[in-house]
Amino acid sequence: MKRVLIVVLSCIAAQTHAQTPLSVIPVPVKAEIKSGSFTITGRTVIVAGSDDEKAAVNFLNAYLQKYYGFSLRTVKRASKDFISIGTRTFIKGPDQPERYTLEVTGKAVQIKGDSRRGTFYGVQTLLQLLPAQKLPSLKIPAVVIEDYPRFGYRGAMLDVCRHFFDLDFIKKYLDLLALHKINTFHWHLTDDQGWRIEIKKYPRLTEVGGCRNGTITGRFPGKGNDGRRYCGYYTQDQIKEIVQYAADRFITVIPEIELPGHSSAAIAAYPQLSCFPDEPTQPARKTAWHGDSTGKNVQQAWGVFEDVYCPGEYTFHFLQDVLDEVTALFPSKYIHIGGDECPKEAWKRSAFCQNLIKEKHLKDKHGLQSYFVQRIEKYLNSKGKAMIGWDEILEGGLAPNATVMSWRGEKGGIEAAHQKHDVIMTPNSYLYLDYAQRKNEDSIVIGGYLPLQKVYSFNPVPEELENNEHHYILGAQANLWTEYITNPAKAEYMLFPRLTALSEVCWSPVQNKSWEGFKDRIAKQFQRYDLWGIHYYPKLDEPLK
């Protein structure tokens, strides 16, 4: 009787253990907990199939060293107490290039990717199996995991124009993206409040456009200005350093060079880019002005400004020169050209623009913006690049090969997909992480309200699309605009845990997602945040509305 009871209790214990969810985010496609465990110590070795696994091995060892105080030797073969990291070979290429399998037994850990990228993501999952405390030995459960992403594009944008972030933070940001299997860093590099990328042919872009003479200090423009000169930009060598750092983490960096609007910083440096080069800079609509009224200025307030690029030959030659240097720095397929929030008042009162509309047989000022954007797209295509723009590029006619980033809700993405264009979903109502994440924030934010559960609830594929249109949705992206985010600590606080929710939105199958399950797993993730030393908002019970 005792023996029967022991067997029954053992079966119940094994069954309970098998049903315990892994604290892995994003939740894998398939995961099964087995009996037993594996312990990583300083004596464990890494078996790497070839130098192709160098990025994955280096990331694993850097993580172990930074958070646990030891790293592992790499060897060609071992019989036990090893972590095997390898990549499969295919004749025709894998169906799921980011797929990986991870198996943990009592003797070893084996990670196999269908590509080097997949292998790297297998390592990220292994890291989430580790204890979230610094220990001399790291016990992990025996598991079998097969995993691959729902979407190929999984992005996060950082605005460095409103407030500048140094290289150390950019690298930390990229590490955090990698840990969440986010594969695209959208780098917002130019705007009204600052030009942040060195362009050697036009040094005044950073000498003049890289600085502003003050910054508004309150929630509403006109309520205060600190009067302090604020400068910052990245040299081309620094850009190259970041691009390589990202590539080592299988992250693509997409630069954004804003046009035709949000161009005050460039116009301050080169007033000929304006249709009215002799007119002083004007404030944003419905705001007070704090600048020098005698010439062109880099903007000190937030908002939308009427002085935009003039669609003349000087401007197009300038932008082509800029894009020549940008495309040489960024190997990404895409270049983001902005295209959003471009007022047409200057074009409306410009005789040159009105004549251009007639000469090109354009319908109206929106047609002029379409002409501007399509001309830039044609140039980018000639350089072997594809163009992304915010959903305003739909106005007046969409450029032939453009990808649309839908930010004003989902409508722009739906319309673009109907027109058979690729789409990246980034609606402000779900994925603008500069919005408040609780009802009563204790610091100034841009506005809005976006709790964690709402981010998690987002489905990038709108219900309005037919099944044969789903493939136009490449993925989704979270955006962090930094008008009121002045330092890394606040940036981290606004990002987390909402960026973690986005990672599961982009990666995991819909049927595997569960808000209740996510809440259980995010509790463990909070411990990881503490291990990583990042700032975050620790509550999960904020109301949806």
What is the identity of the amino acid at 35? S
Stretch (H or E) spanning 45: strand 45-48
Q: Is 32 a catalytic residue?
A: no
**HEC assignment per residue over 396-449:** CCCCCCCEEEECCCCHHHHHHHHCCCCEEECCHHHHECCCECCCCCCCCCCCCE
Structure tokens at 181: 């299997």
Q: Could you give the CA distance from residue 224 to residue 205 in angstroms, rounded to a whole number?
A: 27
How is residue 27 annotated by DSSP?
A: P
Catalytic residue among 321, 340, 341, 415: 341
Catalytic residue among 191, 192, 198, 434: 191
Residues 145 and 30: beta-carbon distance below 8 Å: yes
Could you tell me how far CA 72 lies from the centroid of its own chain?
31
Residues 142 and 37: beta-carbon distance below 8 Å: yes
- Greatest Cα pair distance, the chain, in angstroms, is 99
What is the identity of the amino acid at 346? A
- Closest of 120, 98, 104, 244 to residue 170, by C-alpha: 244
Residues 17 and 33: beta-carbon distance below 8 Å: yes
User: In this structure, how many other beta carbons lie within 10 angstroms of the beta carbon of residue 240?
Assistant: 14
Question: Secondary structure of the chain: what % helix, strand, coil (to 5)?
Answer: 35, 20, 45
Residues whose CB is less than 8 angstroms from the CB of residue 22 and which lie 6 or more positions away in sequence, other chains included: 28, 31, 33, 128, 129, 141, 143, 521
What is the rounded end-to-end Cα distance, in angstroms, of the chain? 57
Q: Is 191 a catalytic residue?
A: yes
In the beta sheet, which residues pair with residue 308?
A: none
Catalytic residue among 180, 186, 262, 290: 262
Any alpha helices (H) in 312-364, and if so which ranges? 313-329, 345-349, 351-359
Q: What interhelical angle do 313-329 and 365-382 show, nearest 10?
A: 40
Q: Is 262 a catalytic residue?
A: yes
Residues 401 and 334: beta-carbon distance below 8 Å: no
Residues whose CB is less than 8 angstroms from the CB of residue 255 and which lie 6 or more positions away in sequence, other chains included: 187, 189, 197, 326, 329, 330, 332, 335, 336
In the beta sheet, which residues pair with residue 471?
A: none
Give the torsion through C-alpha atoms of 233, 239, 245, 250, to 10 deg: 110
Q: Could you give the CA distance from residue 336 to residue 191 in angstroms, rounded to a whole number?
A: 13
Place of tokens 């945040």: 529
Catalytic residues: 191, 262, 341
